Structure 1
């Protein structure tokens, strides 16, 4: 099976397509000065873009991992998530509190999606 890498950098690719599966790297906000809701909205937009580049969309997300710098912001993040995630096509999901790569980041999201048949 071939492997296709999207937005390849020196340390990682933003997405990797292998077979019919798309793996997204953890995404953080381009503007880390935003609130948790603002960062989440930015990240979800980035995910939409990466999935489209890979040839799929959010209705085909299989699994998502979300890391919050402060679990007390769970409801704030979920407000954006619930508005974005397609009802009836919600993925398996885990959310946890973690120290992120830099203190200004409040949210990081990674997901795995399927390509259309």
Structure 2
């Protein structure tokens, strides 16, 4: 009888230890998901600010604003994944090329005439 009780107690203690480890893993996964969601929200806000600056300066329509917001969101996501300055420079060049392809030359002239604006977009 003592052996059965000892085996039962041992079984319960092993089960509780295994469950405690599972809880720790799930908590760390929740923290990681929360961090990613927070970062995405921050990137969305930054992209909206950049888009607003361009829409205000160039008097762009709604569709163009939506396209530029997507471009800036892409920019911030890629910058967060970049490992060094060389990669960031390549991303900046990509974004600038896409921006030049999207906007007319006169619109690009307005943007390039304002170095502070270019610096805020990290394209210079």
Structure with the bigger RCO (C-alpha within 8 Å, sep 6+) is 1
Compute the TM-score of the two structures, normalised by the length of structure 1.
0.32
Compute the TM-score of the two structures, normalised by the length of structure 2.
0.30
Higher strand share: 1
Q: Rg bigger for which structure?
A: 2
Higher helix share: 2
